[in-house]
Amino acid sequence: MATTYEIVIVGGGNLGLWTAYHLAKRGFGRIAVCERYWAGFGATSRSAGMIRAQGGSETAVKLGHWSLELYQRLGQELGLGSGFFETGYYILASTEEEEKAFRDLLELRRRCGVENEWVDPDEGKRRFPMVDWDRFRGAVYTPNDGYVHPPIVARNITYAVHREEAIDLFEECTVEQIEPAGSGYRVHTTRGVLETGRVLNAAGPRGVRDLGAMLDVQVPVSAARHQIITFAEVDQQPAGRFPLSFALSEGIYVRPEEQGALLGMSNPEERADRSGRYQITYDWEYHERARPVWEAIWPSLAGKPISRAWAASIDYTPDHLPIIDEPRQGFFVLAAGGHGMMWGPALGMVMAEFIDEGTAAGLPDEEIRLARFTGERKSRDTIALPFPEE
């Protein structure tokens, strides 16, 4: 006997859980979330947790800005720590072209309600001497950006979903087949059959493409390796706030982590990872090639012992922007374009609005709909890690 829901959400990561939460707040009806492992287990828990509103397009700026607020609001609602730490964020410009592009984005961000300024190297040295500013032309800076601890925010949204009476969260529940059934769908899982009028594909870097294929919907999302290391301690740690910093052209960033620092990096030569795994091999050869670069940018990290190292699969789209769409009636697709932790709360909010009302918070269609991949693309998020072009 099938159980009936208003919507079945496939994927219990940051995107799926936040969408369920926002739909429940709207009084949408009965909601099922199917997660083949455990809530927050996949890409969510392996994230570095960078949160910034300094995006490279209107959609990127707004989603980052909204998510920062939503993380904090949920912590207040639950009476728990939000997991968010406000530190400020420098995005470093290495070339004249980067400087021009960064300066051009200042006005867009300000129009979206984000405080943003240009910082020249002399001012950067005064504010944050941990960076070798002689290598850069300057940086854009926002004081309200920061980071989250992924285990904490995954705990919070899982708890928020679990306490909503309208939501049934099914862990260890693999979706094996989705078939049209009348005006809706029949979802076959390892824990039984669910019937619903709507399905949301929020299956993340290891499932969104395959789930779409069950209904002949092409979803241009792939996964690539991203590497993260932590240092138990650093020299010259700032006495006050330890801001985040991102060397965009190198694809390397640093943030505080307990008493030390966390460093993330993506190899520009990385290819799409088709393994389907969340646990993937750390590339020590690239690590050693990148080490002289990060030690030159952040000299206080030079020679420091590493306390942890891991590789994670991160999803990406061809333009680094999200997918929020309904490619066939009642079948919705949500993907983060490489920013699931950074944009997850806001993507869930916008997706819930799109499912419930058919609108998407005023975000430009050319930055969120699937149709943009069939013609000439007009936008891309220019402030992003290097991802494969395939």
Q: Is residue 226 located within the same domain as residue 305?
A: yes
Residue 388 lies in a domain: no
Helix/strand/coil for 248:
helix
Mean pLDDT value of segment 34-49: 93
| Low-confidence winner among 6-15, 76-85, 151-160, 268-277 (lowest mean pLDDT) | 268-277
Tell me if 68 is assigned to some domain.
no
Look at residue 278 in the predicted model and tell me its pLDDT.
85
Q: Same domain, yes or no, for 239 and 369?
A: no
CATH number at residue 8: 3.50.50.60
What are 178-191's pLDDT values in tens digits? Answer: 999 999 999 999 99
Whether 292 and 279 map to the same domain: the answer is yes
Q: Give the model's pLDDT for residue 1.
A: 67
- Residue at 56 is within a domain: no
The least confident of 8-17, 128-137, 230-239 is: 230-239
Q: What is the pLDDT of residue 173?
A: 98
| Predicted confidence band of residue 245 (pLDDT cuts 50, 70, 90) | very high
Q: Which of 266, 290, 316 represents a domain boundary (last residue)? A: 316
pLDDT of the residue at 241: 85
Is 237 in the same domain as 358? no
Do the beta carbons of residue 204 and residue 42 sit within 8 Å?
yes
> What is the rounded CA–CA span in Å between residue 197 and residue 180?
10
Q: Higher pLDDT residue, 175 or 279? A: 175
Q: Does one domain contain both 250 and 297?
A: yes
The reply to whether 270 and 235 lie within a common domain is yes
Domain that holds residue 134: 86-145+222-316
Which CATH number belongs to the domain containing residue 244 in this structure? 3.30.9.10
189 and 235 inside one domain: no
Spatial separation of the C-alpha atoms in residues 266 and 249, rounded to whole Å: 11
| pLDDT computed for residue 88 by the predictor | 97
129 and 245 in a single domain? The answer is: yes
- Whether 214 is covered by a domain: the verdict is yes
Convert the pLDDT of each residue in 353-374 to its tens digit.
999 999 998 899 999 999 999 9
Check pLDDT > 90 for residue 387.
no
Do the domain assignments include residue 67?
no
What average pLDDT score do residues 115-138 get?
Answer: 97
Indicate if the pLDDT at residue 153 is higher than 90.
Answer: yes
* Token representation of residue 9: 């959400």
In a domain, 389, yes or no: no
Cβ(9)–Cβ(201) below 8 Å: no
| SS3 letters across 254-304 | EEEECCEEEEEECCCCCCCCCCCCCCCCCCHHHHHHHHHHHHHHCHHHCCC
Tell me the three-class secondary structure of 142-180, residue by residue. ECCCEEECHHHHHHHHHHHHHCCCCEEEECCCCEEEEEE
Q: Hey, what are 157's tokens?
A: 């949204």
Q: pLDDT by residue (tens digit) across 101-110?
A: 999 999 999 9
| pLDDT value for 379 | 79
Residues 296 and 358 in one domain: no
In this structure, the answer to whether residues 27 and 128 fall within a common structural domain is no
Q: Characterize the bridge pairing of strands 117-119 and 138-142.
A: antiparallel
Which of residues 316, 334, 354 is at a domain's end? 316
Number of domains in the chain: 2
Listed residues 281, 300, 316: the one ending a domain: 316
- pLDDT for residue 390: 60
Let me know: does 234 contact 301? Beta carbons within 8 Å.
yes
- pTM for the whole thing? 0.96
Give the pLDDT of residue 239: 67
What band does 16 get if pLDDT is binned at 50, 70 and 90?
very high
